[in-house]
Amino acid sequence: MPKLKTHSGTKDRIRITKNGKVRRGHTHGSHLLEKKSAARKRRISGLETFTGRATKSIKRNLGV
């Protein structure tokens, strides 16, 4: 069976930690920040961890 190609969009947006967790950044944090509240911008700035079925499909897209 041939090797699977890495999904380019996924590899740019998602990181896998040393322990195998899948992390991604929040959306809406790169522009129009003036009208967003400070609390909202703080929430956007952090990373989110994927759970459940999504992790398996993302790892398959990345070839991990």
pTM of the model: 0.74
Compute φ and ψ for 4, nearest 5 degrees: -85, 145
Backbone angles phi, psi at 36, to 5 degrees: -90, 145
* Exposed e or buried b per residue across 31-45, where buried means at least 16 C-beta atoms within 10 angstroms of its C-beta: eeeeeeeeeeeeeee
d(CA 26, CA 10): 14
Task: Assess whether pLDDT exceeds 90 at residue 2.
Answer: no
Spatial contact of 41 and 30, defined as CB atoms under 8 Å apart:
no
pLDDT at 39: 97
Each residue's pLDDT tens digit, 44-64: 999 999 988 999 999 999 988
